[in-house]
Structure formats: C-alpha cells, structure tokens
Amino acid sequence: MAEERAAAFTKRSIKTSAKLAGLKMVVSMMDLTTLEGKDTPGKVAYLCRKALQPAEAKYNVPPCGAVCVYPNMVKYARKFLGDNSPVHVASVATGFPSGQFPLPTRLNEVRRAVTDGADEIDMVINRCAFLAGDHAKMFDEIAAIKEACGPAHLKVILETGELVTYDNVRLASEIAMQAGADFIKTSTGKVSPAATMPVTLVMLEAIRDHFFATGVRIGMKPAGGIRNSKQALHYLVMVKETLGDDWLTPDLFRFGASTLLNDVLMQIARRVDGNYQGPDYFSLP
Amino acid sequence: MKTKLKPVKLSAKRAVIASAQPVVPLNDRRLTFGSRWDYAPAPEESKNYIIPPRHELFINGKFVAPHSGKHFDTINPATEDKITEIALGDAQDVDKAVKAARRAYEKVWSKMPGRERGKYLYRIARIIQEKMRELAVLESMDGGKPIKETRDVDLPIVAAHFFYHAGWADKLQYAFPGRTPRPLGVVGQIIPWNFPLLMAAWKIAPALACGNTVVIKPSKTTSLTLVRLAQIFQEAELPEGVVNVITGVGETGTAIVKHPDVNKIAFTGSTEIGKQLAEMIVGTDKCITLELGGKAANIVFDDAPIDQAIEGIVAGIYFNMGHVCCAGSRLLVQENIFPTVVKKLRDRIQTLRIGNPLDKNTDIGAINNKPQLEKIRELVQSGVDEGAEVVQTSCTLPARGYWYPPTFLTGVTASHRVAQEEIFGPVLSVMTFRTPEEAVERANNTPYGLSAGVWTDKGSKIFKIVNKLRAGVVWANTYNKFDPTSPFGGYKESGFGREGGIQGLAAYCRLD
C-alpha cells in the first residue's frame, strides 16, 4: 500500500495560486547542494549568492533554506554568507558518502565543520553496522556525532538505496530519531535509487509515530533525484497530507537538490509573467 | 593520533537556529490539516461534451421513442440540476427489445464464429479507450462519483473487461475441458447505480463473448452512460439487436424478468430486490445469477503494518462514497491496537477532500440519490441512538446536492443495526476482537458473504484466516482490487454466481 498511497499524492492537481505558493515554499525548503571533488571556493560563492537571491526581486522568491557543501568548503560558505545570513550552511560529514571510516575521524570531521561555521551537519549512518544487525553500534555512533555537533542541527542520512526494504528504512528511521537526529534524510545522492516517494512516505510515517510517542517534531529531507517542479510539488503534497501544516516549513522539511532550483524558478516565472522563458534567463548556481 | 579540538564559537543568530525542538505535551500532540497551503480548484473540462436534451431507448440497433411517450429527468446529484431526459421504457418496449434480441440471437450472433464475435468486442474496447475521458466526465456528472475514480478506476476496468472477454470469444471451446459450452439465448440484465458503466461491462462483455444477446436496464438515476455506450455499439457496427438498452424504472426491470422469452437473468443490486426476482422466476426455466449486498469485515491484527492498514480501511469504505457492495464496512480491530487505529483513522479522514466531483482533487463526491442519503442519515442516527460515537471530518459540505461526510462509528457492538445492515454510504462501524478465532467468528456472523479483508504481516496467519472466512472475495493486505480475470461474487444473502474470470464465463454458458 505504501507505493499505492505515494502514487495517490502524484494525482493531486496543483494549479494557479496553489502552484505559485507551493513553488515558493519549495525554494525556501531547498538545500542548494554542490558535492563534487571539483568544488572550489569560487564555485561555493556562486552557490551562496544564488541561495541568497534565487531570482530577480520582481518574482518575490524567498532565499533557499541552506547551502550544502563538503566540510572543506564550509569556511568559504560561511565567509560568503556572513554570520546573520538567512541561508544556513549545511555540511555533509562523517566520511560522506560511504561512512566507512573510523569513528574518531568522523567525529573530528564533524567538529571541524561546526567550528568552521556549519549550522547543520548531514551525517551518513553506518550501513555496515545496520545491515550486519549491530543496531546498538549505529545508535551509539549517531549519539556520539550528535554530541560532537554541539549546537548544530543534525540530519541523519539513511542511504535508503542501500537499505533496500521498507522495513529497514522504518527501523533505521526510528533508531536515528531516538539517537538524536533533528532531521532524517533519505540519501546522499551518490547511490541509486536516491529519494523515492514511497521511501519518503515510510520515513514521514515514522516521524509521525515518533511525534505521537515523544512530542518531538523531527524534520524530513528527501535528497537526490528530485529534479523538476512537478516532483517537488508531489513531495509537498505528501508532507501536507501525512504530517499536516506544522511540517510545511523549512524548519521541518527540506529538499536536497542541485538542479531543481532553476526548474522551479522557470515555473514561477511562467506563473508571474504568463509565458515560459529560456534557461539562459536563469543564472546558474 | 589524538586530535586537539578548538572550542566552537557561535554568533547569537546561529545559537538561536540551533535551539532544540520543543517537546509537545501529550494532550497537544495533534496533526493540523489546515490551510497553510491549500489546493486551488482544478476542475476537469466538461463543457466540450455536448449532452443532448433527450435520450431514447436502444432497440434493434436504433434509438427509438418509448411506447409510453414519457421521459423522466436525470439529475446531477452534486448540484441537483437536471442533466437531460431519459426514456421511460415499459413492458411493450421490453417485448420489442426481447424480440429484437431473439432475432439477433437466432439469425446472427449465435451462428457467428467466436473469432468474429471477438473482433466486435475488441472494437468496442478500443472505442471505449478512445472516449475514456468523455465517459469518465459523464459518469461523474450523472452519478456524483469523483472524476479521479471514474478516470482511474471505472473506465480502465470497463475497457479491460471488454478486452479480456474479447480474448475468450474464440477460445471458449477450450475453457471447460471435456464440456462443450453453448450460449443460453437472450439474457436480461439489470444493473445498479453505484458503478453504472462498470456493471454494464461486467454483464455485457461475458454475455456477448459466449454468444448470447442482451436486454439491459440501468438504474433510474444513472442511465446516461449506458445510453452513451449504446452509441459506441452503433459506432462499432455491432449487429442490430445484439444489445438492447431499455431505460426506465423498477417496473421496467420486472417486465424483463417476467418476459417469457428471456433465458437468463443477471442482476446486481440490493438483497431485497434480488429475493423478489428469485421469486418471480420460480417455476420457469430461466437461469439467474445474483450479486447482492454485503457487510464485509475488514480484520486488522495487531501485527499488521498499521499505516498501510489505515490506507486499506480508507480504500475499503470511502471508495465511491461507500456505494460499494463489497465495501469493508465492518472494521474488526484487535483490541490492543484499537486506540492507535482510531487515532490514525481520525487524522486520515481529515485529509479526504469532499466537493465538486469534477474537481481532480476531490476524493469524496456526492451521494448518488436522495433516498440513499436519507437511508444513510437514518442508519447513522440509529447508531447514535444505540450508543455509538460518531467521528466525522470537520469539512463543510456544499449547500446544494446530496452529501455525507466520511464517518466512522466507535463503540459499536455486533447487536447494533449499523453492524448488521448494509449502509451503502461512507460510514464505517468499528468493532474490536481479541483472538483470531473471535475475529473469524465475528466476521462470519452476518447474513451476507460477499467480501472480507485481512491485515497482518504474518503470512501463515493470512492463509489460516482466509480459509475460514465465508466470503466470495478475500483481500489480504489490500482492499477493493478488481480485475476481469478474477471471479467476483458472494455467499449466502450476497447472492450466487460469479462474474469475471473463467467462472464468470460459465454463468453465461450451458455446458454440455
């Protein structure tokens, strides 16, 4: 039924004013991401500027939720954005994307990223421990990393493409939330399949049950594979109808995406101007 | 190597960002399904489909005025506006139709090789596919069904039934090893208002595939799409008289059942009428198949994936406003998960959208007709009078038209009327059980036996339980799934005979 329910959200018809409002919300929820070996301070500057002002002022588009970069790029992002930026600095860490590194190395990486100015840490879980059945180890590591985060928000990446089953996704979600995750996140974007609607639904359901049990609202971040406006709106519909209004905020829902933004901006421009514009009219991040 | 750590320095702004999520007190842990981001209206285009002001009877391949000269109005139950006029057929019209069907049977259809009959069925199926959107819109307007369902469920299955039975037409002689299937003759068919086109397809396609000819009568409130289907038969150049459509009222149906030259009656509808029809054919040599009411148990065990089960419960009772004979209208929940299930169901029904059936975001359309709405109200009131608690969505209903919000009743016991009688509306009776034995006993404790559902993650439990349930269709970890290859029908007062699959073919053949 998870696939069926997820497919039902894609049947919602989002038109006119709802489409415009939804797309602007999508921008505000976006973790604008660059995770390449070839990233440089210059590339990060492009990304930060784009996140601060995604489109011309006349479109009245909010800034993105965060920029998401590798730990070595955090200090450049922080420098560009300054301390009072509405755009957060998120850093992947803990031996991203595999996580196959000793714990002290991973902890150190987290501390360095936070010291350099990261507001949010996107860690990967120890899939090796989880799949081998050592759930306690997975839990303890997340708890240790949470501690190392200090005041920074922790997003826990499950890498659902490697967990494969919904049962695994559900269990890993529960462990992550109990160990101190502020957000749970589907994927690194480096493994296929990345985020899918049914997997995200299973995680949203886990968040819902965690809220009823503990009173704590955990955030959700699907990442990877969300490339166009229509898909993004489907995810928004799923959040609205699964967790309700309280989660329709960048504090509790984010998209991890690198190419989604300009497609969303094109659709916003279409709604505002009444006609489509070519991609050349939208600056690259 | 030990790493030396620098203390983390933070600006005031960043410290605020990092503050921990507040813990919501137990009594305030609710989800809010409000209007922070609401969907704009998204109506399906309907003005391009022109509906003539009057619809006649379809006899012997032509549209003809009824003998009585009378017509009745068909209305849109979502607005109470008149859509068009429908011919009122009487016994004389039925007689003309049966004579046409007999002639077509003797001279053309029964003599035609199966592969030729199959070609007509394929052609009909393809035309239905081409006109799917139009038929879905008309079905929504005439019956109050949401366009989402007519477009994605009704019409695809209608086409699938014609395709499936087209495939059987030339293979009939291999369907029943050692037996020779022969057509029955003229078949009289009476169909209900809950799935007008779908029920027509379930009845017409197997009848034609097996070489029978048809006189069919739709329900009074939903004639429009069957008349439209008759136009498709014309377009497909189906030989004259092979299918005849007689619109009308209850007496029109009675005339079909009582006509001496009809060989078989196939009826889908209420148990009350089904019993009357069975009495009418006593002493004749007519065959009959009946697909009647139901009061299905949907059993949820504590080891079920509850979020998935909630979806199955919703699909089971709120699909097509609960106007479904196999609706999962009695929810049997294992007692230890009762509070969780009720809480989740309460949240889930808040997200069901009620309103204009032609809006693509509508989940719950209009109640098909006024008497049915009154029946639903009356039965829910009886539940309240007998001590049940009503849970409903907080949505506002449109001012005009026939509407009833998605509802469930808790505190229901087996002695409540709402646990025994078919409500045929978006109303679920929630009850509890403690052991698997009790679940089976309660599920079978009904005069009906059309369908049932079982929810558990344990495969062995599924097999054990489903074999003990006295119901024609049992769904495990899903609900309301239909396919032309799968036989559908009931036990006890839910009727007899099967529709769909090889068993459904057998109901339209004499096996020598």
Tell me how far apart the alpha carbons of residues A253 and A183 are, in angstroms, rounded to a whole number. Answer: 8
Tell me how far apart the alpha carbons of residues B166 and B126 are, in angstroms, rounded to a whole number. Answer: 11
A2-281 architecture in CATH?
Answer: Alpha-Beta Barrel (3.20)
β-bridge pairing B389-392 and B407-410: antiparallel
Q: Is residue B385 part of a domain?
A: yes
What CATH number is attached to the domain comprising B245? Answer: 3.40.605.10
Q: Is residue B486 part of a domain?
A: no
Q: H-helix or E-strand containing A232?
A: helix A229-242
H-type alpha helices, A132-222: 135-149, 160-163, 166-179, 197-214
Q: Kindly identify which residue of chain A lies nearest to residue B359, measuring between CA atoms.
A: A13
Q: H-helix or E-strand containing B54?
A: strand B54-55
Distances (CA, A) of B69 to B231, B259, B387, B459: 21, 21, 51, 60
What region does A37 belong to: left with phi over 0, alpha with psi -120 to 50, or beta?
alpha
CB contact under 8 A, B31 and A244: yes
**Residues of B assigned a catalytic role:** 291, 325
Cis before B53 (ω within 30): no
Q: What is the pLDDT of residue B10?
A: 45
> What is the average per-residue pLDDT within B304-319?
97
Q: Which residues pair with A67 in a beta bridge?
A: A32, A89
Do B160 and B69 lie in one domain? The reply is: yes
Q: What is the pLDDT of residue B2?
A: 43
Q: Which residues pair with B333 in a beta bridge?
A: B300, B432
Do B86 and B205 lie in one domain? The reply is: yes
Do B286 and B333 lie in one domain? The reply is: no
What CATH number is attached to the domain comprising B343? Answer: 3.40.309.10
> What is the average per-residue pLDDT within B125-142?
98
Tell me how far apart the alpha carbons of residues B312 and B292 are, in angstroms, rounded to a whole number. Answer: 22
Helix axes B306-318, B338-350, angle to 10 degrees: 60
> What is the average per-residue pLDDT within B314-327?
97
Do B426 and B324 lie in one domain? The reply is: yes
Do B340 and B424 lie in one domain? The reply is: yes
Residues of A in Cβ contact (< 8 Å) with B150: none
Q: Is residue B40 part of a domain?
A: no
Tell me how far apart the alpha carbons of residues A237 and A26 are, in angstroms, rounded to a whole number. Answer: 11
Do B227 and B311 lie in one domain? The reply is: no
Q: Which residues pair with B407 in a beta bridge?
A: B392, B427
Query: Best mutation site among B1, B14, B30 for testing chain A: the one with the most A CBs within 10 Å?
Result: B14
State the catalytic residue, choosing from A122, A146, A155, A263.
Answer: A122
Q: Is residue B390 part of a domain?
A: yes
Half-sphere exposure of B168 (CA within 13 A, CB side): 28
CB contact under 8 A, A211 and B24: yes
CB contact under 8 A, B11 and A215: no
Of B33, B305, B312, the CB nearest to A244: B33
pLDDT beyond 80 at B14: no
> What is the average per-residue pLDDT within B339-350?
97
Half-sphere exposure of B252 (CA within 13 A, CB side): 27
CB-based contact, A212 to chain B, within 8 Å: yes
Q: What is the pLDDT of residue B3?
A: 45
Do B277 and B380 lie in one domain? The reply is: no
State the catalytic residue, choosing from A24, A75, A155, A221.
Answer: A221
CB-based contact, A211 to chain B, within 8 Å: yes
Of A18, A119, A215, the CB nearest to B18: A119
How deeply is B212 buried, as exposed, middle or buried, from its count of CB atoms within 10 A (0-12, 13-18, 19+)?
Answer: buried
How sure is the predictor about B20, in pLDDT bands with cuts at 50, 70 and 90? Answer: low
Of A11, A212, A240, the CB nearest to B37: A240
Do B231 and B315 lie in one domain? The reply is: no
CB contact under 8 A, B31 and A236: no
Percent of chain A with pLDDT over 90: 99
CB contact under 8 A, B39 and A216: no
Q: What is the pLDDT of residue B22?
A: 85
Q: Is residue B199 part of a domain?
A: yes
pLDDT beyond 80 at B493: yes
Range of the domain at B450: 297-476
**Which range has the worst mean pLDDT, B4-13, B149-158, B177-186?**
B4-13
Do B440 and B468 meet the contact criterion of CB atoms below 8 Å apart? yes
Do B491 and B474 meet the contact criterion of CB atoms below 8 Å apart? no
Q: Kindly identify which residue of chain B lies nearest to residue A121, measuring between CA atoms.
A: B18
Do B80 and B182 lie in one domain? The reply is: yes
Do B232 and B152 lie in one domain? The reply is: yes
* Per-residue pLDDT reduced to its tens digit, A99-118: 999 999 999 999 999 999 99
Of B17, B18, B23, the CB nearest to A214: B23
Q: What is the pLDDT of residue A211?
A: 97
A24 is catalytic: no
| A183: nearest Cα among B31, B7, B18 | B18
Q: Kindly identify which residue of chain B lies nearest to residue A251, measuring between CA atoms.
A: B17
Average pLDDT over chain B, rounded to whole? 95
Do B94 and B215 meet the contact criterion of CB atoms below 8 Å apart? yes
State the Cα angle at A210 between A206 and A211, rounded to 5°. Answer: 120
What is the ipTM score, two decimals? 0.94
Query: Best mutation site among A16, A20, A212, A242 for testing chain B: the one with the most B CBs within 10 Å?
Result: A212
Q: What is the pLDDT of residue A1?
A: 83
* Per-residue pLDDT reduced to its tens digit, A192-207: 999 999 999 999 999 9
Do B227 and B55 meet the contact criterion of CB atoms below 8 Å apart? yes
Residues of A in Cβ contact (< 8 Å) with B15: 151
Do B255 and B280 lie in one domain? The reply is: yes
Domain count, chain B: 2
CB-based contact, A15 to chain B, within 8 Å: yes
* Per-residue pLDDT reduced to its tens digit, B198-251: 999 999 999 999 999 999 999 999 999 999 999 999 999 999 999 999 999 999
CB contact under 8 A, B37 and A22: yes
Tell me how far apart the alpha carbons of residues B465 and B475 are, in angstroms, rounded to a whole number. Answer: 11
> What is the average per-residue pLDDT within B167-196?
97
CB-based contact, B8 to chain A, within 8 Å: yes
* Per-residue pLDDT reduced to its tens digit, A6-59: 999 999 999 999 999 999 999 999 999 999 999 999 999 999 999 999 999 999
Q: Which residues pair with B476 in a beta bridge?
A: B454
Of A12, A104, A245, the CB nearest to B39: A12
Half-sphere exposure of B173 (CA within 13 A, CB side): 4
pLDDT beyond 50 at B166: yes
Do B313 and B300 meet the contact criterion of CB atoms below 8 Å apart? yes
Query: Best mutation site among B29, B37, B152, B353 for testing chain A: the one with the most A CBs within 10 Å?
Result: B37
Q: Which residues pair with A185 in a beta bridge?
A: A157, A221
In sequence order, the 6+-apart residues with CB closer than 8 A to the CB of B458 are B301, B303
| Integer-rounded Cα radius of gyration of chain B | 26
Q: Kindly identify which residue of chain A lies nearest to residue B26, measuring between CA atoms.
A: A215
Do B447 and B501 lie in one domain? The reply is: no
> What is the average per-residue pLDDT within A145-159?
97
